[in-house]
Amino acid sequence: MNYPPEIDLVAMHEAIKNTLRVAFPIEGKGSIASIDYYMRDEEVITCPAIRFELNEITPGDQSGDIGTEQFEGLMHWAAYCVVPYSPKDQKSKLLVRCLATAIAAVVRGQRWGIPCSPAQIVEISSAGILPHPKGEYSLHKVEWTQSGLFGKSVWDNSGIIPNDVFFGYNPKIGVRHVRDYRDLNGQAPVVVVSLDSGNGILFDSGETVTF
């Protein structure tokens, strides 16, 4: 069994950025001047722009255990559409909302090439006004969630993984009672041809199991 690998958050940020850049090129129709993750204090943003953030990771489904001892987290993402703010400019107010819905269409169902669940849109809404010494920005945000596993699996996918499971009842257990074992359907294991000098079993299939 191949257990799912852990989430690489650095790779996920880059994958989201690259996907958005392909969807919204620098030039031409639907172009976006700047796409990056996380806003910086007093940053002069070339607009229109997109800034996205991983705002929170909350515990995911903890009702079961897949046996890897990894943490399942639900990631809460937000992409912010940024345009210059003008209280009298209706065009910019419409632009930021159109951009938000376009982003949602790109984000919906995305896995970004990362081992995570498909993106689920949570909300598209106004994020208010971002003040700046050289002018204000109008923000609209697209929020979505995705789940994945964090931390390395305790399994390294090496060794032999059994295909069939057989059970026996004490005292008829152990190598010399192989014929007394049964699978979950009540069937006996492959007939033993011989015992190999006390340290192995040779099956009809030619496979030798040591003990």
CA dist list (Å): 114 to 15, 91, 126, 201: 8, 37, 29, 44
Closest CA to 101 of 79, 131, 83, 118: 79
- Spatial contact of 10 and 3, defined as CB atoms under 8 Å apart: no
Quote the CA–CA distance of 163 and 159 in Å, as a whole number: 13
How wide is the angle at C-alpha 78 spanned by C-alphas 76 and 79, nearest 5°? 155
Q: What DSSP designation does 160 have?
A: P
- Spatial contact of 189 and 183, defined as CB atoms under 8 Å apart: yes
Burial of 6: CB neighbours in 10 Å, binned 0-12, 13-18, 19+ = middle
Per-residue pLDDT of the chain (211 residues; tens, 9 = 90+): 455 688 899 999 999 999 999 999 988 777 899 999 998 877 788 889 999 999 999 987 766 666 777 888 999 999 999 988 877 778 888 888 999 999 999 999 999 999 999 999 999 999 888 877 777 888 999 999 999 988 887 766 666 666 778 888 888 887 778 778 888 888 887 654 455 555 555 554 444 454 4
CA dist list (Å): 130 to 83, 143, 144: 10, 18, 21
Burial of 202: CB neighbours in 10 Å, binned 0-12, 13-18, 19+ = middle
Quote the CA–CA distance of 156 and 159 in Å, as a whole number: 9
Q: For residue 9, what are the contacts with CB-CB under 8 A and spacing of at least 6?
A: 54
Domains and CATH numbers, the chain: 9-150 (3.30.2000.10), 166-210 (no CATH)
Is this prediction's pTM over 0.85?
no
Residue 172: count other Cβ atoms within 10 Å of its Cβ.
Answer: 12
